[in-house]
Structure 1
Amino acid sequence: MTRTYFVAGTDTEVGKTYVTAALLASAANAGLKTAAVKPVASGCECTHDGLRNADALLLQKAMTLELPYQQVNPFALEPAIAPHIAAMEAGKQLSVDRMAGVCRGVMSAGADLVLIEGAGGWRTPLGPRAFLSQLPLMLNIPVILVVGMQLGCINHALLTAEAIRRDGLQLAGWVGNFVHEGMARPDENLATLKALLPAPLLGALPFDERADYRRAADYLDLGPLTNHP
């Protein structure tokens, strides 16, 4: 049985890719076959193979299934700006339907766990009337929330969780990622989030200057995900 989750963040630069890769590594350590999709990514580099995104390449490395880059990252955009603006400048249209089609293809590829990583925060726009949050709704999959542990994270996390639930999706779990060194009152902030977020804590990742996702995997508990019906 394939379990699929959408990985959302409380904001941009909170470590969604790092956490997604760590979740993939933790699942692989448990003997699970894994796959991941980064449907849209800006900040891509021109290579002899075409536009490539560092985050998507990391996911491709962390998963156990071998998938072509175009299936991992179907929409690659060069400028490191908001995806809908980058797409507009490139004369491209970001289609939620097409993203869903690619995701369904990966979901049927034989993995035990599929993670679909978002871009930016929950309500990232893709066009005039389209948002990336429509993708997990179209796929009807639960959400994992990455909380960037820093000042203001409690408000951001609660508002994002509220939006996810209001959209009709389940918040399956959350990960606290310490994006900076020396956060004030880390234990108290984690305790407050644990008490207020309506989902289990999958792990708290300490600040790691090297961002070693394999080491971060040791701090995660996938039980609430793998035991999910």
Structure 2
Amino acid sequence: MGRRFLITGTEGGVGKTTIGCALGFAFRARGMRVGVMKPVDTGCIDRDGELYSADAQSLALAASCAIPLETICPYRYRSRLAPAVAAEVEQSPPPDIATISRYFREIANQSDALLVEGAGGLADPVAWGTDFADLAAMLDLEVVAVAANRPGCINAATLALSYMEAKSLKVAGLILCDVDQEESPATRTNERSLQRIAGPLYLGRMRYREPLAKSIVESLL
């Protein structure tokens, strides 16, 4: 069995899908069958009478994953909220963990590596009583945490690392992602700070609109 990862964020809007797509493409380029999953997506748009997940589509295309999108992303909501909250607000069925686990096994059986992207951060509830950290533990996933290179990054990354430790999760590492082209004192110093805070768990930095560093990919193979 190949490696199975949860791509999560230290908070929302940090570049999870960017990192997930880059990893999917890189693994596929090395001849691997890459499965992808976005078990729950929020902020989806209506398209042809159905809710469409742009993140799930992007992951599938990057990894050349031909599995149906209904399996890759079984739960979709319009509201850009934590999944359990979005389901409640929209009066829609909440994500069912057993269904997610079944689809996960189906994808895993066809894959050499599997990338599961969360929605928001680790502590966001998938369903009430189960957050993404719990899901990672249930599915035996290694966690790749993505931090946005912007002010507030250090605090968010430190809290995420502490939460992973408290939950006894398998941690593959932390990646810093440039989400904006503009530089600031924070973007110029965040990497050095994360190297000190995360130590060997710091995998590297993905610079704005540049390919993912080979060293990051190889650390996850």
Deviates more, 1:75-84 or 1:61-70: 75-84
1:40, 1:75 within 8 Å by CA — same for their partners in 2?
A: yes
Deviates more, 1:74-83 or 1:16-25: 74-83
Partner of 2:9: 9
Q: Is 1:224 aligned to 2:200, yes or no?
A: no
Q: 1:115 to 1:38 in 2, by over 3 A?
A: same
Q: Provide structure 1 residue ranges, at least 5 long, that are not aligned to the other structure.
A: 209-214
1:158-187 residue CA offsets vs partner (Å, 9 max, x unmatched): 110111121111211121101122132535
Partner of 1:119: 119
Aligned equivalents of 1:198 and 1:118: distance in 2? 24
Q: CA deviation at 1:225?
A: 1.5
Q: 1:177 to 1:219 in 2, by over 3 A?
A: farther
Aligned equivalents of 2:220 and 2:55: distance in 1? 23
1:126, 1:132 within 8 Å by CA — same for their partners in 2?
A: yes
| SS of 2:123 mapped into structure 1 | coil
Q: CA deviation at 1:49?
A: 6.5
Aligned equivalents of 1:101 and 1:50: distance in 2? 22
1:61-105 residue CA offsets vs partner (Å, 9 max, x unmatched): 111231101111010112223322221123312222221221121
Size of the alignment, in residue pairs? 219
Pairwise CA RMSD: 1.8
1:4, 1:115 within 8 Å by CA — same for their partners in 2?
A: yes
| Counterpart residue identity of residue 91, structure 1 | S
Q: Provide structure 2 residue ranges, at least 5 long, that are not aligned to the other structure.
A: none
1:7, 1:116 within 8 Å by CA — same for their partners in 2?
A: yes
Aligned equivalents of 2:5 and 2:67: distance in 1? 18
Partner of 2:64: 64
Partner of 2:74: 74
Partner of 1:172: 172
2:40, 2:126 within 8 Å by CA — same for their partners in 1?
A: no
| Counterpart residue identity of residue 22, structure 1 | A
Deviates more, 1:39-48 or 1:124-133: 124-133
Identity of matched residues, %:
27
| SS of 1:221 mapped into structure 2 | helix
| SS of 1:85 mapped into structure 2 | helix
Q: Is 1:94 aligned to 2:95, yes or no?
A: yes
| Counterpart residue identity of residue 126, structure 2 | L
Partner of 2:156: 156
Give TM-score, length-normalised by structure 2: 0.91
2:6, 2:136 within 8 Å by CA — same for their partners in 1?
A: yes
1:23, 1:220 within 8 Å by CA — same for their partners in 2?
A: no
